[in-house]
Structure 1
Amino acid sequence: MTLSLKPHYSAVVIGGGQAGLSASHYLKKHDIDHVVFEKKTVAHKWKDERWDAFCLVTPNWQCQLPDHPYDGDDPHGFMVKDEILAYVDRFVKKVNAPVLEGTAVTSVEKIGDLFKVETSAGMVTADSVILATSLYSRPAIPRAAERLPEEIVQLHTIDYRNPNQLPEGAVVVVGSGQSGCQIAEDLHLAGRKVHMVTGNAPRCARFYRGRDVVDWLSDVGQYDITVEHDGMTKKKHDTNHYLTGRDGGRDIDLRKFALEGMSLYGRMSGVAAGKMLFSPNLKDNLDAADRVYNGINALIDRHIAEKGIDAPPASVYMPLWEPSSEPVELDLKVENVTSVIWATGFSPDWSYVGLPIFDGTGYPVQRRGVTGIDGVYVLGLPWLWTWGSGRFLAVGKDAEHVVDHLADYLEAGQPALRQAASR
């Protein structure tokens, strides 16, 4: 869609990913004039920031973008990269959002009753603004990376594609979240020597008692729990559980990888004199991940017992391997390490937002996307409202809630605002 910039919009959406497109879908349904500003290209993260063997971790049936549910023949399978891109591309075409690609937003401020939005294509005003740029704006790489030997190739997960892109030799993967563990597995299956640096990421079974764990958790109601439930307010900062949908889905067990030759370490504490340094907490990290694994299975056990469901017998995971020591350093030259993959997550970029909507951690203060400033909304964040808020499962539900609120706000606005919204 080729657009020319208007001086004023009833709503401005910042970010052209699944959250921004979902917002546009509902804005269209309300007949609210709007524009979507996208710094790069629509849904570019799915196209440009995923490795070749990437696949969904949640089953296909959880793909529930607005008016665009999964329509394939394998609802309990896991779409691979090309299938995901095709699914997203169909959604992009269906929404046909008024997007200005290659347009960076540099400033959002409130001027009187309106919002002033500065972009690389010019300035516009708006009655409302939806911030849909997610928490995954900038790769987070520790400063210790600067002290690695120059000859070592360093990549963040967004730049990793496959084992063949790396020079021969051993690879260090720093970070044991979903991406780190899946990339470590990708390298391991390709026969590469992998040194895996663990953190506090929990893990989850893929299948348990005859079904995908996600299916059980859906039945239990885990995906309906909101961030306002007791003990859930800190969930937005949690690391995702590691498992995979690869080859039909399976557990990721770092202990099993260790038996097969992968070297495991505790959290990285620094780099000095050609060595990577670690805290002596490998056993603690593995044990904590297994406690979550067994805890989720125990939750399912209780559900099965309470409902009287006929299912295969319960089980408890017992460690396949235990570290005999706590390695505190890795000599990169001695171990022929030629590459480091930083699976250390992302940091948000809210620098363009000149509005007082953030808490002390830099996270927007909001309730299901509605901030304390009239006309300002956020979308697409992990645990914005539920477990699925940042994903295909529930981003559309949150977008519908936000746009309904926005429509009511415009409808109740002062005459000057209603006049501006009709231009």
Structure 2
Amino acid sequence: MSNIEFTQAAPEHVGVIVIGGGQAGLSVSYFLQQANIGHLVLEKHSVTHTWRTQRWDTFCLVTPNWQCALPGHAYDGPDPHGFMKKDEIIAYLDAFIAKVNAPVLEGTAVTRVTRDAGGGYVVQSTRGTYMADQVVVASGGYHTPIVPRMAERLPLGIVQVQSSEYRNADALPPGAVLVVGSGQSGAQIAEDLHLAGRKVHLAVGEAPRCARFYRGRDVVDWLADMRYYDMPVTDHPLREGVRDNTNHYVTGRDGGRDIDLRRFASEGMELFGRLEDFRDGKLRFAPNLRANLDDADDTYNRINASIDGFIEKHGIDAPAAARYEPLWHPPGERAELDLQASGITSIVWCIGFTPDFAWLDAPVFNGRGYPAHMRGVTAVPGIYFVGLPWLHTWGSGRFSGVARDAQYVVDAICAERSNVPDHVRLRVREEA
């Protein structure tokens, strides 16, 4: 990485400004360099900082290593079907950073992007103002942690952390822990605390789950063969609604395994429905624990059934099919929990993030404040997005699919710079 010294005296013109120095922004830089297009990457913190600062100590990938396919930097280690741990992920990224050698300004937050009279863009940052022909937003979609207002009413003695701040069980005070949310982070953090011997109370949400291994292979391998990861958002049954879906919970820990909340419950973890309120010293929960567990298991079995159909259709020799049967059922729906009597001393909020693009002054957002685009290309000339969940496919926000998205966007930038007529450019994009 060529980290540029800040010596700006007047606004500098740059062909393309890339906002964000994570895997998406670096992937865009890789293809811009191939196209010989001058550009600058502005990164608020340091490149790939999220992987270094917002992951717990035992964090590992939930997808197998072979899916790590950043541009020009496919995984080539000894364990393609394993799951890289945190330090291995950082080493993989460090090698990518060195390979790309992107022109980056770290510690530079973008504060405003506006269109100028000539059709270009004014990019204001904490280290000066730049002029750009085109802007690629590669800052992701997970910006502001979601913490409910009820958190303000909790006793001051309760330690509250968000999932990005959790590191390990020992970093929390002695006592029971309430984990709120059962998506990928919530389920894995609850497991981490449970395995560390902590008493865990888990507020279970509507996240689905899937098997780690089924019929002799990783489920990811089956789904890859079934071309699931190549399905564009336009072909998904939920269309753009899939972008709102919570990721399936599963883990790559210890070589990979299922996460079964029912088993945790049989081992002493306390499960509740969705956390709704804190009032009169008591946590209040929705009576939907049983439904949430059943729905997660239904998704688990439905994915496996689709694999069964694929195996049968293609005459594949594989171990026998099986159906998950619950090993534990909630004895009832507990609507409340006395906070003091429970011994809870800390809460880990794992209910996601909201995007924040308030600094981008351009008519590219829908009524919910989410970028409107087709494969990262917006209706406003010169504004592009890369690295969003399901920007085009399941892998768009991951190591597996960001390269394809970045190349597509850079191709669109090249077409725009060549003054290809809009109707031709749009047709090419739709057909690609």
Cα distance in 2 for partners of 1:8, 1:19 equals 23
Aligned to 2:314: 307
Count of aligned pairs between the two proteins: 414
Cα offset, 1:413, TM superposition: 7.6
Q: Given residue 294 of structure 1, which amino acid in structure 2 is its aligned partner?
A: N
Alignment of 1:254-269 (within 5 A): 254-269=261-276
Cα distance in 1 between the residues matched to 2:30 and 2:165: 31
Structure 1 position 205 matched with structure 2 position 207:
no
Distance 1:14 1:274 in 2: 45
Equivalent AA in structure 1 for residue 402 of structure 2: V
The equivalent residue for 2:427 is none
Match of 2:58 in 1: 53
Structure 2 residue 328 is the aligned partner of structure 1 residue 328: no
Work out which of the residue numbers 349, 364, 367 in structure 1 matches 2:374. Answer: 367
- Specify the alignment match of 2:200 in structure 1: 194
The residue number in structure 2 matching 1:271 is 278
Name the SS of the counterpart of 2:337 in structure 1.
Answer: strand
Say if 2:151 is the partner of 1:145: yes
Within the alignment, does 1:110 sit opposite 2:115 as a pair? yes
Give the conservation status (yes or no) of the 8 Å contact 1:3–1:99: no
Offset at residue 173 of structure 1 (A): 0.2
Name the counterpart of 2:16: 11
- Secondary structure of the structure 1 residue equivalent to 2:83: coil
In the alignment, does 2:233 pair up with 1:231? no
Aligned letter for 2:360? V
**Aligned twin of 2:88:** 83
C-alpha displacement at 1:53, in angstroms? 0.2
Asked whether the equivalents of residues 52 and 81 of structure 1 are also in contact (C-alpha less than 8 Å), the reply is yes
How far apart, CA to CA, are the structure 2 residues paired with 1:279 and 1:322? 17
The one-letter code of the counterpart of 1:365 is A
Q: Which residue of 2 aligns with 1:280?
A: 287
Deviation by residue 1:63-115 (Cα, 9 ceiling, x = unmatched): 00000000100000000000000001111111111110010100011112111
TM-aligned CA deviation for residue 231 of structure 1: 2.8
1:26-105 paired onto structure 2 within 5 Å: 26-105=31-110
Q: Partner amino acid for 1:129?
A: V
Give the letter for the 1:73 counterpart.
P
Give the conservation status (yes or no) of the 8 Å contact 1:175–1:197: yes
In the TM superposition, what is the alpha-carbon distance from 1:273 to its structure 2 partner? 2.0
Paired residue for 1:22, among 15, 27, 33?
A: 27
Please report the RMSD computed on the Cα atoms of aligned residues, expressed in angstroms: 1.1
**Aligned match of 1:119:** 125
How far the C-alpha of 1:411 sits from its partner, in A, is 1.8
**In structure 1, how many angstroms separate the alpha carbons of the residues matched to 2:306 and 2:115?**
47
State the distance in 1 between where 2:39 and 2:116 align: 19
- Work out which of the residue numbers 402, 408, 429 in structure 2 matches 1:401: 408
Q: TM-score if structure 1 supplies the norm length? A: 0.97
One-letter amino acid of the counterpart of residue 176, structure 1? S
Residues 3 and 98 in structure 1, CA contact (< 8 A), matched pair in contact too: no
Correspondence for 1:419: none
Aligned equivalents of 1:410, 1:271: Cα separation in 2: 55
Moved more, 89-98 or 243-252: 89-98
SS in 2 for 1:215: helix
Aligned partner of 2:220 in structure 1 is 214
Quick one: distance in 1 between partners of 2:232 and 2:113? 29
The alignment status of 1:249 with 2:256, answered yes or no, reads yes
Partner Cα distance (2:132, 2:418) in 1: 15
